[in-house]
Structure 1
């Protein structure tokens, strides 16, 4: 049986390649039917903000890839509720409706459920 994998994405979508790399790993894992989850933490929650203008930052927009996650079988999507609140993001207005909010204690339990964890 394949080991489960949790990807923790902590970088904003415009701060470097980390956000794109995390998403690529999750999509690849989903394509191979790996038990995979994705957690947005710290500035990573900015990836879920609606109405981002990636072109003005000369970046590629990740929103289409985010919407493709369920089509790749990736349904374990989460974000840190505290990180979103600290950054002024309304959880109800995030672009990825499938992502569920977690508290710090729930995040610890989530990490414990996975065999391997990668943080980007």
Structure 2
């Protein structure tokens, strides 16, 4: 039986390679039918903001990777409710439907998974 994997993405999409690497790991695992979930935490919630303009920063758009997650069987998508609030994203339409979790629910989520990768 495959071990479950939770990937925690904590970096903004333009803060370096970590955001892209988290998505790449999720997509690769999804291609092998591994039970994977993705949690956006801290500045990682900025990946969920719609209408980003990465070309202004000479960055690649992560939107296509985000939209591909459900096609690879990655439908368990979560975000930290406090992180969304602190960054002004709590009431905005996000690029993906995620379940916003409070701190207690985040701890329970992390405990449910066999392996956790934080980027």
Q: TM-score range by the shorter chain?
A: over 0.9
Cα deviation per residue 1:58-80 (whole Å; 9 max; x = unaligned)? 11100111011000000110000
**Could you tell me whether the CA contact under 8 Å between 2:81 and 2:90 is conserved in 1?**
no
Counting matched residue pairs gives: 119
CA distance in 2 between counterparts of 1:91 and 1:7 reads 24
Ranges of 4+ aligned residues in structure 1 off by more than 3 Å: none
Unaligned runs of 5+ in 1: none
CA distance in 1 between counterparts of 2:59 and 2:111 reads 34
**Could you tell me whether the CA contact under 8 Å between 1:9 and 1:18 is conserved in 2?**
yes
Unaligned runs of 5+ in 2: none
CA distance in 2 between counterparts of 1:26 and 1:104 reads 23
Is residue 104 from structure 1 mapped to residue 87 from structure 2 by the alignment?
A: no
TM-score normalised by length of structure 1: 0.97
CA distance in 2 between counterparts of 1:46 and 1:17 reads 14
Cα deviation per residue 1:2-26 (whole Å; 9 max; x = unaligned)? 1110000000000000000000000
Q: CA RMSD in A?
A: 0.8
